[in-house]
Amino acid sequence: MANTLRPAIRRLETREDAPSLWFAFHRNRLLLHRDGQELCVPGHEQWQALGLEYSATHYLGVMGAAHCYAVPLADEPVDCDGVVLQDLRSVLLTMDSSITGVAGLAFQIVHWDRTHQFCGQCGQPMEAMLEERARQCTRCDLMFFPRLCPVIIVRVCRGEELLLARSPHTPPGMYSVLAGFVEPGETLEEAVAREVMEEAGISIGNVRYFGSQPWPFPHSLMIGFTAEHEAGEIRIDGKEIENANWYSVESLPKLPPPISIGRRLIDDFVRHIKDREPSRLG
């Protein structure tokens, strides 16, 4: 399905018999057919047979002809015959990108809704607003919109070498480009320079925007940049980063999966080198 979502808060008009796509989450796991490759689309009776109840329905918009909904499940299915709950990370790795994009959005909305039931200012219950994706306090009117955390991710090169690092949280042996949260009061460019200095001890220049990617764990927006080494040798803090090195494109370590913007930044550099010297990489 090469469709993209037409987002909406309230149900858009389409044919009466238009199909629905249900993105049903129990915590961080999505309800799928047993094969793990298709969304489970239960009718009313099947929801009952599965012993599933949901407390809220969030309309997401239309993809192709199908109305898309996000629902939080209170419990796991009683009878797992024919269905499976699959971790969102593995869903992103294995399913079609049109589905995974909406699945990421659905997870973020469900997570935001679940964690904004009460006002952070006065503690009273919040209720959903009708005209926009927001929740409002029933007493003091304070509004909360879905939360987004901007994270910069940056590819630093030195001539034909790439700076790759690993944190203690990444899978064994895997290296990637540097990334970190943007802090209040910072521009994105300042965040890029600070992160590279903090994590690798290096000054950079020629910072350029590359692209972005929503990353729903649980509400990040990855903003990608490229930059060039200006001064300094690698110096790591040993906490956030446990190892970092300069790598040539012929000797790259284990890399993150192709869906991540970190990998796209690395692949783009490899292509660039290959285009420059076609004989070098075959």
Chain positions contacting Zn ion, by CB under 5 A: 119, 121-122, 124, 137, 139-140, 142
Give min distance, CB of 111 to Zn ion, in A.
Answer: 21
The length of the chain is 282
Give min distance, CB of 121 to Zn ion, in A.
Answer: 5
- Nearer to Zn ion (CB atom), residue 78 or residue 122: 122
Q: What value, to the nearest 5°, has the Cα angle with vertex 219 and ends 59 and 50?
A: 50
- Nearer to Zn ion (CB atom), residue 20 or residue 121: 121
- Nearer to Zn ion (CB atom), residue 119 or residue 261: 119
- Nearer to Zn ion (CB atom), residue 124 or residue 206: 124
Give min distance, CB of 143 to Zn ion, in A.
Answer: 10
- Nearer to Zn ion (CB atom), residue 87 or residue 127: 127
- Residue 27 CB burial class (10 angstroms; 0-12, 13-18, ≥19): middle
Q: Per the omega criterion (within 30 degrees of 0), is the bond before 214 cis?
A: no
Give min distance, CB of 16 to Zn ion, in A.
Answer: 40
Give min distance, CB of 123 to Zn ion, in A.
Answer: 7
Phi/psi at 53 (nearest 5 deg)? -130, 145
- Nearer to Zn ion (CB atom), residue 47 or residue 144: 144
Give min distance, CB of 149 to Zn ion, in A.
Answer: 23
